Amino acid sequence: MPSKQRGVKTLGSKLTPFQAFSLLVGFGTAFLILYPFSRVLVRLFWVDGSLNIEPFRNVVQLPNLGQLMFNTFTLVIAGGGIALVVGFVLAWLNERTDARMGGLTDILPLLPFVMPVIAASAGWVIIGAPRAGYFNYYIREVLDLVGIHLKQGPFDIFTWYGLIFVYALYLIPYPYLLISAGLRNLDPSLEEQARVCGAGLWKTLRRVTLPNVWPSIAGSALIVATIGFAMISVPILIGTGADIQVISTRIVRLLNFTYPPKTAEAVGLSVVVLIVLVAIWRLQARLIRGGRFATIGGRAARGRRIELGKWRWVARSLTFGYVFLALIAPLYGLLITSLNGFWSPKTRWGQLTLEHFRTVLWFDQKTRDSLFNSVYLGLIGATIGMIIAATISSYVQRSTGKVSVFIDGVAKLPAAVSGLIIAVGFILAFAGPPFKLHGTMLILLLAFIATHMPSGSIAADGAASQVGHSLMEAAYVSGASESRTFWRINIPLMLPGLVAGWSLLFVRYAGDFQASAILSGTSNQTAGKKIIEIYEMGSYAYLAALAMGLTLVTGTIIGVVFALTRRRSSISSVV
Amino acid sequence: MADVVVEVRNLQKTFKRADGTLVKAIDDVSLSVRSGECIVLLGPSGCGKTTLLRSIAGLEKPEDGEILINSETMFSGDQRIEIPPQNRALSMIFQSYALWPHMTAFDNVAFPLRSRKTSKEEVAERVNQTLEMVGVPELAGQHPSDMSGGQQQRVALARALVAGDDLILLDEPLSNVDAKVRDQLRRELVEMQRELNFSAIYVTHDQIEAMELADRIAVMELGKIVQLGPPRDIYEKPSTRYVANFIGTVNELPGTVSSMNPDGSAAVKTQLGIVNVPSEEEFPEGSGVVLAFRPERCSISPQQVDGSLNWKGSVNTSSFFGSHTEHHIKISEDISFIVWQADPKQLTHDEEVWVTVDHTNLRVLPFEGHEGIDENH
């Protein structure tokens, strides 16, 4: 009863060793995020002891700024909107109808998470290009049979619709996760009551289900917008071909392909994104606060599922169709191209060769190293990142002071700041003396941890919130210290959520092209950066082999981790 | 027997509501618990009973006052002492049981011993012994999710008993099990407490539970202990209308004191005439009171009974409850009484009867204060 209320007056108390540890981790993380970020801001806006608004003027004067804004917003709104709708439909079908296929349903729509988006985008270039794209070729072959002869197409990935399509494809898992969780927590008897009161299926959905999962939908919109604005792999691989520039790709160009790098304009652009995201975040918070929503009671009620009859397999094929488009199709493209030796839809099935895999994964030392670096950073970084996130979440969960609010806020801050800007901050803060981390793996590791802290932190929050207060209190009155309680009670109970969060981080780190775009060079090459380099040189077989190799490694490692930790866990406990 | 295990002195704790208003959850409470005694904190939700229990456990931090356990200061507002829960050498059973779902029953029960660095052999021996004692030795290897509510409750009890602490705190431990299991567990709890002779502080809103378990009941209202005493005293000599209504059913006849008689009884003027009632308390003339009496301490009779109070009324409802029959008798427009008779005979509607009650079964209680109790307790 009183856990949500606070004592008015508190006594001064000494820090326990565990609190000291938590605070050390928290402030260490805050330093890692805030210090580079403040270096960027100071460097830009503080010239000779006074405020300098020059960068904003430069941003306003950027050529084609209007076009850039229009492109970005169109992409995020269209792609994000489609992702929300599809995510909701998949979640509803799987949670409320008999289209559900046991535990498989929870995993299928999340499988695309295993494939780094940069590899998937490369795959879509290969299958969706108008002439050489495999899909288009196969469709033309079929059309030939019925007498329709096309030279190219019918589809073209290098267009607005192609870009929006791929964009939406890799945003769908986020709303799916959040909205299924929302539906699972919504007592089905509310919907059954509506049905009993004579409301039809559609009316129930519209009048009862939707309004009550509104918080999950609003939360999904925020996440989709955050990821959408920052997403760089899809627009750099597909948008470039379509000649559509967005803010994220422009920032990369300003920083990476311009000499000297136009840091001021890049930061200015990312401040624009920051302002938009803060506005969306406020709007979402207000929407959620304004409404009344049913929440879960103690027990998980299981309502009867809606029977779809013959539509059941149509509904199921939606899920399978999604997995096919998001995972299997691009993997197929990558696999065939890398085995074929060059990018051509006319596969010479008899002459497939592993030569390119061998080159990329073994003979070409630089590519091999880049893959090794990425996997290594992923393993080490995700582990450290999740331990930090779990420590912070547990600390925030049990203390309500200003310090915990601050640490929690800072851990979530990078979500609103482009990873590219944080990377620039890392150059300013840590590349030179006294740290001298330029070109090292350590600077990448630290930047990854800082950039992707919000994902880890949100996953850990979800895991921490599942550990009820009384479980910890029972440990205290059993004589267990705070650290014993943390390691013996909190961590084991949070494990499924932490493993899911770890997997998410691992794939993000291994396929990173945000921090790497700025911080990775010849001495600390990452796979993400290498993929872009190879793409710009136009050697698609190598590109495919590297992207395929990366996906194989991430897929295998995540598969092994889940097999080892799967007791009662499931990937759906991420959020 | 006279050893004091828990001593609470002038404890204060205020909560701030979301709207900024302050609520006194514990308002200057003092209480001492003797060795081997079971004290029940009884009251509706929001009366501060759970907060008091959690403060003793160290899970809430009071603002002021003192808590001593076995004469050692655990909390002191003046001396700024606060001992964390893990160092208070007590056990607690939670309303939700709070069994750790990732551990087997054995590991759950072993946890307090392992936290206190007990040897492996001793852990095994004592855990098995305790599981045996609470009657679930066969559950040792099972996880909580595979157990029934009653079984979980037994494992939680074993976890609280295993370390052999001489103080056990129980926060509505039986509110989540079926009525049948609840009765049985309650009886076993009483036996175990007598046998192992630990002191217990037990929080509940269920008066039946309180009557059966308590050596003394502390009835709480708005952060204060309004009455503390053995169950019989609380039932027979409630000090306020609030207590009278919270424990059991009570008939109330409002009136004003017209004078105090030389023999110590009070002459109370009521709608049904002047009634002379023995009173331990002096009431000033004209003060508002109610005359309270229990439904089983009055009876129905076809005619007046000499030496008793007699009120004529008509039967409103009459229901058979198995152990007794309950009659609602309407005396006047706004007064009706409940009468419990062992006699299973039901009366017909509108039948004219007399309600008779002996003067000694009436109790004078001050009118002001709580108007009965909340329905939602």
Confidence grade of residue B2 (pLDDT, cut at 50, 70, 90):
low
Assign a CATH topology to domain B252-366: OB fold (Dihydrolipoamide Acetyltransferase, E2P) (2.40.50)
CA distance B317 to chain A (A): 36
> Which 3 state secondary structure label does DSSP give A157?
coil
Q: Tell me, what amino acid is at A563?
A: A
Q: Determine, for residues B16 and A470 on separate chains, whether the beta-carbon distance falls below 8 Å.
A: no
Distance (Å, whole) CA B188 – CA B97: 17
CA distance B91 to chain A (A): 6
Q: Where are the beta strands (DSSP E) in A509-570?
A: none
Distance (Å, whole) CA B101 – CA B113: 18
Handedness of CA A440, A443, A448, A449 (dihedral sign): positive
pLDDT tens, position by position, B286-299? 888 999 999 999 99
Q: Tell me, what amino acid is at A210?
A: L
* Nearest chain A alpha carbon to B109: A478
* Nearest chain B alpha carbon to A468: B98
CA B216 to chain centre: 9
> Which 3 state secondary structure label does DSSP give B166?
coil
Among left, alpha and beta (phi > 0; psi -120 to 50; other), residue B125 is alpha
The residue ranking higher by pLDDT, A338 or A418, is A338
Q: What is the pLDDT of residue A128?
A: 85
Q: What is the pLDDT of residue A14?
A: 62
pLDDT tens, position by position, A362-391? 777 888 888 888 999 999 999 999 999 988
Q: Is the pLDDT of residue B196 over 60?
A: yes
Identify the weakest region by mean pLDDT among A354-363, A511-520, B23-32.
A354-363
Q: What is the pLDDT of residue A265?
A: 78
Q: Is the pLDDT of residue A299 over 70?
A: no
Confidence grade of residue A256 (pLDDT, cut at 50, 70, 90):
confident
SS3 content of chain A, % helix, strand, coil (to 5): 75, 0, 25
Contact A93, A319 (CB under 8 A): yes
Alpha-carbon distances, residue A472 vs A13, A487, A491, B99, B151 (angstroms):
20, 11, 11, 10, 21
Contact B239, B245 (CB under 8 A): no
CA distance B53 to chain A (A): 12
CA A548 to chain centre: 20
Contacts of B322 (CB under 8 A, 6+ apart): none
CA distance A480 to chain B (A): 5
Chains A & B: contacts with CB separation below 8 Å: 102
Closest CA to A227 of A285, A303, A283, A280: A280
Note whether A18-48+354-575 and A65-295+305-353 share their fold.
yes
Using a pLDDT cut of 90, give the percent of chain A over it. 8
Confidence grade of residue A248 (pLDDT, cut at 50, 70, 90):
confident
Selecting from A2, A7, A492 the residue whose C-beta is nearest the C-beta of B102 gives A492
Partners of residue B357 on adjacent β-strands: B298, B309
Contacts of A458 (CB under 8 A, 6+ apart): A412, A501, A575
Residue B80 exposure: Cα atoms within 13 Å on the Cβ side: 6
Distance (Å, whole) CA B137 – CA B156: 13
Q: Determine, for residues A479 and B82 on separate chains, whether the beta-carbon distance falls below 8 Å.
A: no
Q: Determine, for residues A479 and B163 on separate chains, whether the beta-carbon distance falls below 8 Å.
A: yes
Contact A225, A243 (CB under 8 A): no
Confidence grade of residue B9 (pLDDT, cut at 50, 70, 90):
very high
Q: Determine, for residues B91 and A477 on separate chains, whether the beta-carbon distance falls below 8 Å.
A: yes
pLDDT tens, position by position, B140-149? 998 888 888 8
Q: What is the pLDDT of residue A12?
A: 44
CATH of domain A18-48+354-575: 1.10.3720.10
> Domain spans of chain A?
18-48+354-575, 65-295+305-353
Selecting from A1, A468, A493 the residue whose C-beta is nearest the C-beta of B50 gives A1
Q: What is the pLDDT of residue A217?
A: 83
The residue ranking higher by pLDDT, B37 or B370, is B37
Q: What is the pLDDT of residue A289?
A: 60
pLDDT tens, position by position, A159-210? 899 899 999 999 998 888 888 877 877 777 777 777 777 667 777 777 777 7
pTM for this prediction: 0.75
Helices (H), A291-364: 312-323, 329-340, 355-358
Q: Determine, for residues A470 and B95 on separate chains, whether the beta-carbon distance falls below 8 Å.
A: yes
Q: What is the pLDDT of residue A566?
A: 61
Q: What is the pLDDT of residue B369?
A: 56
Handedness of CA A224, A225, A227, A229 (dihedral sign): positive
Contacts of A2 in chain B (CB under 8 A): 15, 25, 50-51, 54, 60
Contact A369, A461 (CB under 8 A): no
Q: What is the pLDDT of residue A275?
A: 80
Q: Tell me, what amino acid is at B139?
A: L
- Residue A396: exposure state from Cβ atoms within 10 A (0-12, 13-18, ≥19): buried
Contacts of A484 in chain B (CB under 8 A): 115
Q: What is the pLDDT of residue A516?
A: 83
What is the pLDDT of chain A when averaged over all its residues?
A: 80
CA distance A83 to chain B (A): 36
Q: Determine, for residues A478 and B95 on separate chains, whether the beta-carbon distance falls below 8 Å.
A: no
Contact A72, A66 (CB under 8 A): no
Handedness of CA A12, A16, A22, A27 (dihedral sign): positive
In terms of residues, how long is chain B? 377
Distance (Å, whole) CA A456 – CA B20: 34
Distance (Å, whole) CA B204 – CA B206: 5
Contacts of A361 (CB under 8 A, 6+ apart): A367, A368, A371, A545, A549
Backbone angles phi, psi at B140, to 5 degrees: -45, -45
Confidence grade of residue A431 (pLDDT, cut at 50, 70, 90):
confident
Q: Is the pLDDT of residue A229 over 90?
A: no
CA distance A157 to chain B (A): 49
For the beta carbon of residue A561, count every other beta carbon within 10 angstroms: 17
Using a pLDDT cut of 70, give the percent of chain A over it. 90
Contact A194, A208 (CB under 8 A): yes
Identify the weakest region by mean pLDDT among A521-530, B144-153, B162-171.
A521-530
Q: Is the pLDDT of residue B1 over 70?
A: no
Residues of A with CB under 8 A from a CB of B: 1-2, 5-13, 16, 468, 470-471, 473-481, 484, 488-489, 492-493, 495
In this prediction, residues A272-276 reach a mean pLDDT of 78
Q: Determine, for residues A2 and B60 on separate chains, whether the beta-carbon distance falls below 8 Å.
A: yes
Best mutation target, B12, B13, B15, to test chain A (most A CBs within 10 A): B15
Kindly report the CATH class assigned to B4-241: alpha beta
Q: Determine, for residues A5 and B16 on separate chains, whether the beta-carbon distance falls below 8 Å.
A: yes
Residue A356 exposure: Cα atoms within 13 Å on the Cβ side: 24
Q: What is the pLDDT of residue A310?
A: 81
Q: What is the pLDDT of residue A301?
A: 46
Concatenating the DSSP letter of every residue in A430-496 gives: IISTTT--TT-HHHHHHHHHHHTHHHHHHHHHHHHHTS-HHHHHHHHHTT--HHHHIIIIIHHHHHH
CA distance B15 to chain A (A): 5
Long-range contacts (CB closer than 8 Å, 24 or more residues apart) made by A532-536: A532/A118, A532/A236, A532/A237, A534/A367, A535/A122, A535/A125, A535/A237
Q: What is the pLDDT of residue B29?
A: 93
> Domain spans of chain B?
4-241, 252-366
What is the pLDDT of chain B when averaged over all its residues?
A: 88
Closest CA to A111 of A307, A426, A323: A323
Q: What is the pLDDT of residue A5?
A: 34
> Which 3 state secondary structure label does DSSP give A84?
helix
Selecting from A12, A470, A481 the residue whose C-beta is nearest the C-beta of B98 gives A470
Contacts of A12 in chain B (CB under 8 A): 80
Contact B160, B91 (CB under 8 A): yes
First-to-last C-alpha distance (Å) of chain A: 25
Alpha-carbon distances, residue B183 vs B28, B131, B134, B172, B289 (angstroms):
34, 20, 15, 14, 37
Q: Tell me, what amino acid is at B363?
A: R
Using a pLDDT cut of 70, give the percent of chain B over it. 97
In this prediction, residues B246-265 reach a mean pLDDT of 87
Q: What is the pLDDT of residue B101?
A: 84
CATH of domain A65-295+305-353: 1.10.3720.10
ipTM score for this prediction: 0.80
